[in-house]
Structure formats: C-alpha cells, structure tokens
Structure 1
Amino acid sequence: MELDDAVLHFPFASGPGGTQPEEFRELRAGCPVVPVILPSGDRAWLASRYEDILTVLDDPRFSRDLSRAGAPRLAEGFDASLVKDMIVGMDPPEHTRIRRIVQGAFTPRRIRTWEPRVRAVAERLLDDFAAGPGRTGDLYEGFALPLPIRIISELLGIPDDDAADFRRWTETGLSLTRWTREEMLAAHREYVDYVGALIAARRTAGVADGTGNGTGNGAGDDERQGDLLDALVGARDQDDRLSEHELVQLVRALISAGHETTATVFTRGLYTLLTHPEQFALLRAEPERLDAAVEEILRYVPPGSGGTPRIATTEIEIGGVRVKPHEGVIAPFGAANHDPARFADPDTFDIARVDPPSHIAFGHGPHHCLGVHLARLELRVAFETVLRRLPGLELAVPAEELAWSEGLRVLKLQALPVRW
C-alpha cells in the first residue's frame, strides 16, 4: 500500500454528540494504518490502534518538525513559518532545552500552590454566572472559557483584558478549513506583535523599577508567583537560553494551550455528564469519584480530532505498513483512547471504570503536555464548583440543537446553554 492509494478523507466526521468517528472502529478491525487525504490535499498515514499510536508519539525516528521536506500539511493555508521556533514543532535537543526552561512553573508541587487561587476564581465566576436573570446561561462563555484564561494570565503575569483576541488567534491557528491562508497569516502576525509588545513592556518596567530584566522567578519565586513572563524574559536577556523568536513563540504557546484545552474538555465533559444522567447521578451521590470522573472524561472526549503529523526520518514499519522517509503519520489521541485492546467497552462512558488510567488525552512521549497538572487542577475545581453550586443543572435546549465547531483541528461546543 502506498500514500497514492488514499481514498479516505481525514479528519472524519464525529459521531452523534461529538462521539468518536465510526471509521476508527472499522480501521482498527481491518486495516489499522491507512493512507488518508488531508484538507490540504496532501497525503499521510493514519494510525488507529493504541499501541501503534504510542509508538508514533514516542519513537525518535518520527519528527515533529513540519518544515521538513515532504511534510504533509493539515490545512491548505498552513505555512511552516507559522510554527517556526514553537516548542510543539521541535525535536530534541532543541525541544528539551526549551521545555527545561519553563517546566519548573508546572511541576506538581508548584501547581498545588495555585489551587486556592483557582478555587477563588471559579467561585467568583460562578457568583457572576448564577446572578444572571432567569437561572439560565451559557456555561462556556460565562465560566469554562474565562476560568483558564484568567489563571494562565495570572501565571504569566499578563492582563486578561484581551481574552477575546486570545480566543480568536488560537482558533485561527487551529483552522483546517474555517479560515484562509491570508487570514491565518494575518492572525499570526497580530499574535506575534501582541506578545512582542508584552515582552517589550516587561523589559521597560524592569528598567524603570531598577530591577532589570527577569528578576521575578516565575518558576519558583513565591512572592511573585504569577510572573512567569519575567522568568522567560530573563532566560532570554540574562542567560541567553532562548532566541527572541523562541521567547515570543513560547509565550504564544503558553497562552493558547493554557486555556483552549481546559475550556474545551470541561464543556464537552459536562455535556457528556448531562447526557448520561445515570453517570451524573452517580457522581452527585458519590462526589469522591470526581478524580476518576475527570480521567474518564479526558479519555472519552479528548479535544483533538487528529494529531499533528509526525514525519518519518527513516524507513520504519508501523502497524504492518512500511513508512518511507519524509512521509507523515497522524496518531489521533481519540482513536487510541477508544481502542478495545486497551480499554474494556471503550465507547461506554463510565466514571466507575476499572481500567488503568492510561489514556493519552495529554499526549505521550517527549511532547506530553507540559501543563497537564494545571489542566487537571482546573478541571477538578471547575467540575466540583459547578456541581456544588448548581444542583439542578440541566441542558437548556435539546442536545441535538447544540452547535459544534467545524473546520478546526479540535472538536468543541460553540456554547453550552444550561438552566438550574
């Protein structure tokens, strides 16, 4: 089988209520690695089994560098310059170098110190949300989105007044077919200019107050806990561990990843609970199951419709297929998380699941999500707060009337109207 034999178009349409595409089940049973046609018209291999997907994510013979010759483009308007010097598109040792600079701010111990603040923000947002007229509202706009935006903004030490721009720039960067190449490039330039201005203002402030650049240690200074941006500017200006473009791209990545995943997973997770009333009732009756419920939500509704392609640097066999150098392989997290060879009855949503917590909603291997501990904290606090504060919670419209995103690399609800 060759890439030119591709007849399937990827991403596949989701099932009812945002469930996993039926094609994954069919492919796992018959042809677990197949060539597919991407929205750009390029070809790539698609893996659908848990073990094969883990191999693609972890094997150093697969590169994340989409500027490599022959690398497939997901979107027609994709330009490799959009991800130049971004941590998500780097391989070791460059990826390892940049990850080490920032990972101290996201250790389990460090994230635990943020729990009181996350809870305070969640409570304040629910105060405002519940005070609205008619005991109805959009929980996505009123709670799910502003919670992680405020937290990542405080952690970085930047204003959250530009949340609407963060959202627009992030969604444009996730486009498959929704925006044109020109629109994607324009949004990219706006985002880079915005972050560049933040960095310049921080440098100016450092000079004005006599402290110099980067004196606040965002990865470990308890007095200036939220000021990760100071630490990153210091890594550039004092230690020369980042180039200027790497600094800008790293801040961009932290802002976008710091709110998109949490908001999407919370909204889809709450929708899943509301449309599985027996599971919702179990969680209300036994709130000690909350951690397990969060993990099952992450397994059941990972936000991505398909992973970033990995590029083979040498010929390698995967799932019985010989992948040639420069060919791309897509390893979607959702397909892995619904593989019956790894999870019993995987298409059943079950917060009492006894399978080991081995889902890969946060990825696997060197690119395993840097903010995994923060995301889990935000999700746990968000669900606990909403379930406690809104005991009569239910969808305000029939589930089939809800609008889902189209043309993006993530699948998410555009709104979650509820009443209580």
Structure 2
Amino acid sequence: MSLDHSDPPAAAPLVPLHCLRAAPAGPPVRTTLLTGTPVWWISRHADARQVLTDPRLDRSSLYAEDAPAVTPYPNILDTPESLLNVDGPHHQRVRRTVQRAFTPRAIARWRPWVATVVEELVEQVAAAEQPVELVTAFTRELPVAVICRLLGLDGLDRKRLSHWSEHALATTAFAPEAVQAAILEFAVFGTELVAERRRNPGEDLVSSLVRAADEDGEVPEDQVVMLTVGLVLAGHETTMTTLGNALVYLLTEDREAWRELAGSEEQAAAVAEQLLRAVPLGDATVTPGLLRRAVADVEIGGVLIRAGDVVAADVFAANHDPAVYPGAWQESLFAPPDAPHLTFGAGPHHCLGAWLARMELELALHRLAGRLPGLRLAVPVEEIAWRTGLLTRSPQSLPVAW
C-alpha cells in the first residue's frame, strides 16, 4: 500500500499544511518505509493511542542490533541515548528528573511572565515599519525567548541555535555529513552547559536537571546532556512551527476567527487546541507516523502484530478519525475537541512541554489578534516561502501588514 496523505507532487508549489487531507482512518495495513523496511500503518484514533501506550511496543528496540533501518536520514531523534529512545524503569527515572517543571501547575506559575514576553513582542511588531516579517519578529522569537529564560540561556547565539535546530531535524535539507557535524556541535554545547551548571548552579531548569540527576546517581552523563539538548530543541522548534502554521490559516482562511480571538484567553485556548489537533507539524514524507517496534506479539485493531514488527502511528489520520471527531474541524474552531488529540503523543513518551506549548500558542494568538485585529498577509499565500527538507514544515518568512 502507498500512503500519500494527499500531499502535492514534489515539483508542485507547496500548499499550507492546513490544506492537507488526512488519509482515511481504517484497520492496520502493511506498507513500507523509505528504507524498504515493512511497517504496519496505524490510522484509527484508538489504535494509534494503543501503539503509543502499550508497553509491548517501544522505542528502544528500534535501535537494537537486529533492528531494521527505519530512516535514511541522520537526525537527532534517532540518537539512542535521547529520552525519546529509552523505555521502561530507566526512562521513568530520567523523565522524573525534569517532568515536575512541566506540570500544568508549574506552567501556570510561568504564565504572567510568558504573557509579558508575548506583549513585549507584540508591541515591537505593532511599532515596526510595515510590512513586518513575522517569523523573525514573533513566531520564532517568542518560543526562543521563553525557553532561553527557562534554561538560563539569555546570551545564547540565536543564529547558532537556528543552525543546530534545522540540521538536527533535517531530512533532505543538508548533506548527512553536515547534519552529523551540527549534531556533534550541539552535543558539545550541551556537555559544556551541563558542566558549567554543575560548577555554578542557579535556579534555571538545567541546574535543576543536573541536581536531580546527581542526586539520583544512576542517570548517565550522556543522557543528562541529551536531555538538556532536547529541551533546548523541543522548547522552541515545534512551538514556532505550530504558531507559524496557525497564523497562515487564520490570516488567509478564517479572518472572522482571527478577530474573535481577541475575545478571551479561553476562546484562544480552544482555538489553539483545535489547530494543534487539525494542522500537522509536517508533510509526513519521511515516515508515515510515530514509530514503535513490537517486543511481543500484540493485537491492534483486530490485526496480530508479531514481535519484531515496526509500526507507525499516524497521528494526523488519528486526529481526524471521524469516529472520534465528527464534522469539519473548521466548523468547531472555538469548541474543545471531542476527545484528547494525539499531537503531543500519549503514554510514557507524551511530550514533556505540551502544556508550555499550549500556553505560548494561546497567549500569542490572543494578544496578537487583540492588538492587531486587521493583521493580514502582505503576499499572496502562494508566495509564502517554506522551510523544507526538515521533519517539520513552517513558513520560512511571513510578511504581514495591517
């Protein structure tokens, strides 16, 4: 079976991600990865959730000696030492070192200063000469400013961070050698940062992580480093991507919703949740979903998956499963989704930064719409420049006026 997710041909102009249609949800079927490895494609919401929560399907076995190749491109997500690729009790131990900082209660304490960061950036946009390039001025700057403050990285070279991030999540954008070199540089940065915070601890998240790992005594140093690097990367990349793609939709397809976003933060929160569910982070051209490997025989959706088989949970399809989400998402934009979506995953590897991303997105949309209700694209949607050749896709630039 071939899965195209209704993506445009490679030579055709790219369409905004909200225009992509999810493949119809159905029972598990066999397809192949780009490497030629067979994979079970999982598309129904209940089945995808099972893949992400069932301990008989894990990440670490994807990197066992007998594991088949799952991606032709080196990227940071395939580092065996990363938290994403560790399972079981050890994963729980490493995750505990940082997850307390990302609980809903902890995020609520950060809300006032995150709101201040948003408002400052919005005012800078409003005071700038039009047109304003919104990626540089807002969609990238906001999550970078927030994560840098949380991690105590106020002096971080933003251009270097962008270089590391784009290479770390690359597919075809850069040569494999360049990707590996950037990931190594990123790891060296993480190693030096961990060592510096061990010598001079503060109140930032990296210092807390180092203290917790040292007190535990069983978390290897390379995993402390990879967790630190992962926080730097995940703390801004996906939020930037989601915010940029959300603005493309709101400023082109739903101007009425844009104006209504100024009504309340609660309304903005509902819109943010629907957009998180409905608009994918990328084109899914590398893998057809979130990958796991069976460590025992397991039945999914009435199909027996054998131990050793690779499965891919298609979150995009699952988030549009009509059995769970009837009707068009655009028609219920200001209502919470009918069930929890899977954009942030589920189970042991559920995204640590989910609540932070939600808060940044809803505050950004609410404050920007309230200050600039007449905001509009300054170029036709067909002329948007996209970041391509990465695991994610979002606007490279977004000229706006009002």
TM-score (norm 2): 0.89
* CA distance in structure 2 between the aligned counterparts of 1:21 and 1:41, rounded to whole angstroms: 25
- Residue 387 of structure 2 aligns with which residue? 405
Measure, in 2, the Cα distance between the counterparts of 1:318 and 1:282: 42
Q: Report the CA distance shift for 1:93/1:153 in structure 2 as closer, same or farther (over 3 A).
A: same
Structure 2 CA distance, aligned partners of 1:173 and 1:332? 22
Deviations 1:273-307 (A, max 9, x none): 12222333443467652221111111111325354
- Residue 89 (structure 1) aligns with: 85
What corresponds to 2:332 in structure 1?
Answer: 350
Higher relative contact order (CA 8 A, sep 6+): 2
Distance in 2 between the 1:413 and 1:44 partners?
A: 31
Counting aligned pairs with the same residue, the percent is 37
**Alignment pair present for 1:277 and 2:273:** no
In the other structure, the counterpart of 2:11 is none
Match of 1:106 in 2: 102
Name the CA distance, whole Å, in 2 between partners of 1:339 and 1:296: 14
Q: 1:8 aligns with which of 2, 17, 20?
A: 2
Matched-pair contact (CA < 8 Å) for 1:102–1:232: yes
Task: Map residues 376-387 of structure 1 onto 2, 5 A cutoff.
Answer: 376-387=358-369
Query: Number of residues paired by the alignment?
Result: 391
- Matched with 2:297 is 315
Q: Which moved more, 1:144-153 or 1:64-73?
A: 64-73
Q: 8 Å contact 2:75–2:171 — kept in the other structure?
A: no
Contact 1:106 1:371 in 2 (8 A): yes
Deviation at 1:132, TM superposition (A): 2.3
Q: Does 1:372 align with 2:350?
A: no
| Cα separation, 1, equivalents of 2:75 and 2:115 | 40
d(CA) in 2 for partners of 1:408 and 1:106? 27
1:93 partner SS: helix
Letter in 1 for 2:276: L
Change beyond 3 A, Cα 1:81–1:55: closer
Q: Which residue of 1 aligns with 2:225?
A: 248
Aligned residue type for 1:56 = V
Counterpart CA distance in 1 for 2:33 and 2:186 is: 26
Distance 1:203 1:269, change over 3 A: same
Alpha-carbon offset, residue 201 of structure 1: 2.3
Task: Give the CA deviation at 1:236.
Answer: 3.5
Q: Following TM superposition, by how much is the alpha carbon of 1:158 offset from its aligned partner in structure 2, in angstroms? A: 2.1
Distance 1:287 1:316, change over 3 A: closer
402-411 or 181-190, which moves further after superposition?
402-411
SS state at 1:309 partner: strand
- 5+ long unaligned stretches in structure 1: 1-6, 207-213, 217-223
Contact 2:273 2:336 in 1 (8 A): no
- Cα distance in 1, alignment partners of residues 309 and 18 from structure 2: 29
5+ residue gaps, structure 2: 9-13
Secondary structure in structure 2 of the residue aligned to 1:184: helix
What is residue 389 of structure 1 aligned with on the other side? 371
CA deviation after TM superposition for structure 1 residue 190, in Å: 0.6
Question: Mean Cα displacement is larger for which, 365-374 or 32-41?
Answer: 32-41
How far off is 1:255 after superposition?
Answer: 0.7
Question: Equivalent residue of 2:273, what SS?
Answer: helix
For residues 302 and 80 of structure 1, what CA distance do their matches in structure 2 show? 20
1:9-408 aligned at under 5 Å gives the runs 13=7, 16-19=15-18, 21-22=20-21, 24-25=23-24, 28=25, 32-65=27-60, 66-78=62-74, 82-133=78-129, 135-204=130-199, 206=200, 214=201, 216=202, 224=203, 227-274=204-251, 275-284=253-262, 288-304=266-282, 305=284, 306-346=288-328, 348=330, 350-353=332-335, 355-408=337-390
Are the structure 2 counterparts of residues 357 and 165 from structure 1 closer, same or farther at C-alpha, using a change threshold of 3 Å?
farther
Cα 1:81/1:335, change in 2 over 3 Å: closer
AA of the residue aligned to 1:391:
P
Contact 2:293 2:310 in 1 (8 A): yes
Tell me: CA distance 1:119–1:71, structure 2 relative to 1, closer, same or farther (3 Å).
Answer: same
1:255–1:287: structure 2 CA closer, same or farther, 3 Å change rule?
A: closer
